[in-house]
Amino acid sequence: GENVEQHPSTLSVQEGDSAVIKCTYSDSASNYFPWYKQELGKRPQLIIDIRSNVGEKKDQRIAVTLNKTAKHFSLHITETQPEDSAVYFCAEAGYSTLTFGKGTMLLVSP
Amino acid sequence: GAGVSQSPRYKVAKRGQDVALRCDPISGHVSLFWYQQALGQGPEFLTYFQNEAQLDKSGLPSDRFFAERPEGSVSTLKIQRTQQEDSAVYLCASSGLMNTEAFFGQGTRLTVV
């Protein structure tokens, strides 16, 4: 698969603040960009995804933006809560493989 | 129905031993992925099946790793002559149509001693 760069590797915020995680990719054929949340000892679970024909998608406190020209996409979490604490992975897919970034550990302090 | 099921959940193998990890995908899912996840890292792609066809095995780290999905449903990841660096969680995921949500199993934690 192609490389997916994810930043930052750790992010600490206060409850109620916003959190932003950014990813860049290299394969111009990529057309599907999901975000997964993985709690300690559990399986990754999809929280939101976006396709290449859309620039932004929102689901309650979570939003994702995509800039195909610059080949980057971002996850935005507003009004963070302690239960948002987890590792978040971006991913990209083109014709076959689903390639993941290295993850961002988000810590939300009460 | 049930989600993606993997077995065993935990496996301890002596160095040099062969192991087989099983994945039962969601019924009807065409795509099946295997990933290796080291502690504190993201899932690293190993291989991808579309039905019974192994379309991409570029992530398999060595020829000691072999995966199959002979009938397009259950898949087995086999690791021969295990080494300590093979210790990781092995995750299986399945999805229906291409580029739709991939559902993960709980993973198999392999420890090679």
- Per-residue model confidence as pLDDT tens digits over B47-105: 999 999 999 999 999 999 999 999 999 999 999 999 999 999 999 999 987 788 999 99
pLDDT above 80 for A96 = no
Contact at CB, A46 and B101, closer than 8 angstroms = yes
Pick the residue of A6, A98, A105 with the most B CBs within 10 A to test the interface with B by mutation: A98
Higher pLDDT, A53 or B53: B53
Nearest CA distance, A44 vs chain B (angstrom): 6
- For residue B91, give the chain A residue with the closest CA: A43
Average pLDDT over residues A104-108: 97
Task: Give the A:B interface size as CB pairs under 8 Å.
Answer: 57
Q: What is the pLDDT of residue A2?
A: 55
What burial letters (b/e) apply to B41-56, b meaning 16+ CB within 10 Å? ebbbbbbbbeeeebeb
Burial A22-59 (b: 16+ CB within 10 A, else e): bbbbebeebbbbbbbbbeeeebbebbbbbebeeeeeee
